[in-house]
Structures are given as structure tokens and as C-alpha cells.
């Protein structure tokens, strides 16, 4: 335990995102004196300008298709109109509710919240607003920020942060990027009524995902009316009285009223004054115990350059607080078989190795696939298909990867991720009775 008489705090957390809040709260429950600095909003990117509002807006976009699909089931009604301002207002109310929950969690645990940004003066001293604060141990949990383009007119482009606060729904939007953020916003804006053009440097979106899933996804995007511009870059953005013009590398000029850069994220460390403690700005390198090059200064979450997933930051922060202040000895979080999802349409859910990764790692594998029209669309009339893929290691019959693109795939994959984590074999999947009629039963009946 720290020397309480030497410092203002035993543990000071920089950043009020999910990882930082969890670590601060758990440390306080173990009896540590804990402070936390957050100059913007509690809950961080995920709660405020990331997964939570993005999922809410994806739900809103999905309703567009649901209304159309209902006709095939006998529901006769005029097409409802969409009000962007109502969505944003209700989204803001929900985020405010979550902010308050985070504050209450910290207050109830006895964590002192400092509503300002923190920067280092020295290894144990921080400038937090007008205060100078000392701490025995310090955690950096500042997360990440969107990358921006270095082109003429880049200041006319929004990033993902801005999309949650637009005054109006764009009629036409050009989205630059081929990763999960880009395709999720393509779904959101297309579903809500915008005309979307997706521009990306690669030949197929979602690099790093299983190739069969990527190819299936492109077909579904095209059915939805999203204009795809592969192997293309935006060279400049021009603003005129009518809006914006995106000048593309293939010579095409696209008129739009919004252009978004969705080209990844970087560690948010620029205002921490890390060089004052001998740590370089940018992605923070940590060891297996999340210590930086200065052992009493630690970092967790997106700022360390690992998988940018909220549950990972939470597990890291929780483990750290338990280990340091609770004297709890348990293995650090595992990064194998982490399930992930992309909330595009149709959803993508994935866990374990892709076919390409399995081959690269030398596995002798058998591939099982099922491509079908979900039951709901046999009557909705929608031309949307589901693809499920299972990768089995022939040496021990263990299922080492499952990849699904289709209705509710994110919900489906959570349970199957437990099975993969537990080391389930294909024989166990085969012995499991499927729930009929569901899409998920396909994973228990693949032959």
C-alpha cells in the first residue's frame, strides 16, 4: 500500500472513460485514496461519442428497413417520416443519464472527481486545472481521438466525434475510410435517408476480418444503394455556396453536403506533457503489468495501442486496481479469442481466428460455411442473406474461429464466444441441439 502521508492521493487516474472509471472505483473500494481528472465528460468515447450513441443511431437506421419489411407480414401503413432532431435530442438525454450514473458510481465509491484536464509536472505531480496534485501511483486512461486527413480542405471534413452533433441529417455524405467506423456510419446515414458514398484505399472494406465475410458485406452494401469507391483516395475538399465537392484520385468530383474522415484513431496524449516524465508522446508502451517506462505510472485502454474495445479497457483497469490495492493475485486479462462486432447492416460478429490467420499460423483446418436467407426475409421480400463460417483445427477438433454476417449476429456470437473460450470441439457443437427456427442453430448443425 502507498505511503499516504506523502501524497494527496494513493492513486490518481487521468481520464474518465470506462477503463479509468472502473480502475478508480475498484481501487477506492479496496481502501485507496483515489482522485480522477476528466475535463470533458464521464464515460469517455464509448458512452459519449462512440459505441453507445453509435449503436442507438444504428437502431434508428434499422427501423427504416423494418418499416419496409413489415408490409410483407400484413402491416399496411404509409411510410413514416424521420426527424433527425428528435433522434439527437433523445440520444443526448440517454447519454446524460449515463454520465450521471458514472458520476454516482465514483461518488459512492469515494473517488474525488476533478472536472478538468491533467498534465504532468513531474513523476508524482500533476497540474489539474488550477490545482497542483500529487499522487503515489498514476494511471493514464485518456483513450484515443480520430485521425484527420492532411489534404487541402480537410478542415471542411467532420470526424466521427462530430457526427453525433450535426444540426441536420446530410442529404449526401462522402465517407472516407474502409474500417469498422466508416462502414457503421455508412449504415447509419444510408438507413436514415442520406445518399452515401464510401471511398476507401483498399480493394475491399474491413481489412483484418475474414475474407468471406468482407466479400459478402460488399454485396450487401451494394444492394442497399451505398456507392462504393474502392482503391480511391480523396485528394482535396472544396467548399462553395452549394456545399462541398470531394475531388477523388480517379478524377471524379462528388458534390455533397458533408464529408467525413473515418481513417482510424490515435492515442490521445498530446496535452499530458509526457516528456516531463521521460515518456514519449503518442501510443504509450506498457509491460505485461500495464506499467510504462516509469513503473509507478501505468496506462490502460486505447492509449496503449491495443485492441480499441471498451470491455478490454475495463478488464485492464479492474485487474490493475485489484492487483495493486486489493492484493488479489490472478492472471492478467487474456487477449485470445476476443469477440467483436460491427454494427453495420447486416451485423458482423466474429470470434477467434480468420481463415487467413489460421493458414498463416500453420493450422490444418476444415472450413464449414452456410449461406442462406434468414427466415424473416422469406416473407419480408428483402434480398439480404446471412453467411456463417466455422473454422476447425483438425489436430484436436477444436473450433478456433466463428464469423457471422447477418441479422442479430452480434447477439448470436456472444454466447458462442464463451464456447470458443472454453475450448469447445466441433463434436460438442454437433451434439448441441439447435433452437429451431433460428439463424443461430446453423452453427450447431453445420456438416
What is the mean predicted confidence (pLDDT) over 358-370?
98
168 found inside a domain: yes
pLDDT for 1 beyond 90: no
pLDDT, tens only, 289-342: 999 999 999 999 999 999 999 999 999 999 999 999 999 999 999 999 999 999
254 found inside a domain: yes
- On average, the pLDDT of the chain sits at 96
Residue 421 belongs to domain spanning: 340-445
Residues 308 and 367 in one domain: no
Per-residue pLDDT at 77 = 78
4 found inside a domain: no
3-state DSSP assignment of residue 95: helix
pLDDT for 397 beyond 70: yes
Residues 246 and 273 in one domain: no
Per-residue pLDDT at 2 = 43
Residues 278 and 246 in one domain: no
pLDDT for 131 beyond 50: yes
330 found inside a domain: no
3-state DSSP assignment of residue 243: strand
Q: How far is it, in rounded angstroms, from Cα 68 to Cα 292?
A: 53
171 found inside a domain: yes
Residues 120 and 168 in one domain: no
Residue 366: CATH number of its domain: 3.30.390.30
Q: What count of residues does the chain have?
A: 447
Residue 288: CATH number of its domain: 3.50.50.60
DSSP state at residue 158: B
pLDDT for 285 beyond 50: yes
The mean-pLDDT minimum among 76-80, 189-193, 261-265 falls in 76-80
Q: Residue 3's pLDDT band (boundaries 50, 70, 90)?
A: very low
DSSP state at residue 193: T
Domain boundary among 302, 325, 348: 325
Q: Residue 432's pLDDT band (boundaries 50, 70, 90)?
A: very high
pLDDT, tens only, 57-66: 999 999 999 9
Domain boundary among 294, 325, 356: 325
Residue tagged active-site, from 114, 124, 377, 436:
436
pTM (predicted TM-score): 0.95
Per-residue pLDDT at 47 = 96
85 found inside a domain: yes
Q: How far is it, in rounded angstroms, from Cα 226 to Cα 152?
A: 25
Domain boundary among 291, 325, 359: 325
Per-residue pLDDT at 5 = 54
| Ordered strands of the 195-199 beta sheet | 227-229, 195-199, 172-176, 258-261
- 436 has catalytic annotation: yes
pLDDT, tens only, 153-186: 999 999 999 999 999 999 999 999 999 999 999 9
Amino acid at each position: 500500500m502507498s505511503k499516504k502521508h506523502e501524497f494527496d492521493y494513493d492513486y490518481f487516474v487521468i481520464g474518465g472513460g470506462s477503463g479509468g472509471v472502473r480502475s478508480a472505483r475498484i481501487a477506492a473500494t479496496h481502501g485507496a485514496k483515489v482522485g480522477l481528472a476528466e475535463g470533458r465528460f464521464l464515460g469517455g468515447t464509448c458512452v459519449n461519442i462512440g459505441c453507445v450513441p453509435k449503436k442507438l443511431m444504428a437502431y434508428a437506421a434499422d427501423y427504416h428497413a423494418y418499416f419496409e419489411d413489415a408490409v410483407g407480414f400484413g402491416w399496411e401503413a404509409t411510410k413514416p417520416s424521420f426527424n433527425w432532431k428528435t433522434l439527437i435530442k433523445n440520444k443526448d438525454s440517454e447519454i446524460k443519464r449515463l454520465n450521471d450514473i458514472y458520476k454516482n458510481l465514483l461518488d459512492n465509491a469515494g473517488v474525488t472527481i476533478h472536472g478538468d484536464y491533467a498534465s504532468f509536472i513531474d513523476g508524482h505531480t500533476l497540474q489539474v486545472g488550477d490545482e497542483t496534485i500529487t499522487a503515489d501511483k498514476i494511471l493514464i486512461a485518456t483513450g484515443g481521438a480520430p485521425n484527420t486527413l492532411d489534404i487541402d480542405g480537410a478542415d471542411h471534413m467532420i470526424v466521427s466525434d462530430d457526427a453525433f452533433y450535426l444540426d441536420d441529417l446530410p442529404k449526401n455524405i462522402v465517407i472516407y475510410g474502409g474500417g469498422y467506423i466508416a462502414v457503421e456510419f455508412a449504415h447509419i446515414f444510408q438507413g436514415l435517408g442520406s445518399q452515401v458514398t464510401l471511398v476507401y484505399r483498399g480493394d475491399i472494406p474491413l481489412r483484418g476480418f475474414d475474407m468471406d465475410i468482407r466479400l459478402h458485406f460488399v454485396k450487401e452494401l451494394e444492394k442497399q444503394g451505398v456507392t462504393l469507391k474502392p482503391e480511391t483516395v480523396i485528394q482535396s475538399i472544396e467548399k462553395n455556396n452549394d456545399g462541398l465537392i470531394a475531388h477523388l484520385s480517379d478524377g471524379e468530383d462528388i458534390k455533397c453536403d458533408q464529408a467525413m474522415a473515418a481513417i482510424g484513431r490515435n492515442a490521445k496524449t498530446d496535452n499530458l506533457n509526457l516528456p516531463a516524465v521521460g515518456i514519449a508522446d503518442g501510443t504509450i508502451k506498457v509491460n505485461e503489468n500495464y506499467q510504462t517506462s516509469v513503473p509507478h505510472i501505468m496506462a490502460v485502454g486505447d492509449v496503449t495501442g491495443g485492441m480499441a474495445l471498451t470491455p478490454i479497457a475495463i478488464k485492464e483497469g479492474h485487474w490493475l486496481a485489484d492487483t495493486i490495492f486489493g492484493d488479489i493475485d490472478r492472471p492478467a486479462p487474456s487477449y485470445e479469442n476476443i469477440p467483436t462486432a460491427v454494427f453495420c447492416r447486416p451485423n458482423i460478429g466474429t470470434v477467434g481466428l480468420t481463415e487467413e490467420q489460421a493458414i498463416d499460423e500453420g493450422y490444418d483446418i476444415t472450413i464449414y460455411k452456410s449461406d442462406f436467407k434468414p427466415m424473416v426475409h422469406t416473407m419480408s421480400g428483402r434480398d439480404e442473406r446471412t453467411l456463417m463460417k466455422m473454422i476447425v483445427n483438425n489436430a484436436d477438433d477444436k473450433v478456433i474461429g466463428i464469423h457471422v454476417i447477418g441479422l442479430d449476429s452480434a447477439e448470436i456470437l456472444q454466447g458462442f464466444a464463451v464456447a470458443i473460450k472454453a475450448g469447445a470441439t466441433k463434436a460438442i457443437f454437433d451434439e448441441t441441439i439447435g433452437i429451431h427456427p433460428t439463424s443461430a442453430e446453423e452453427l450447431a448443425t453445420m456438416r
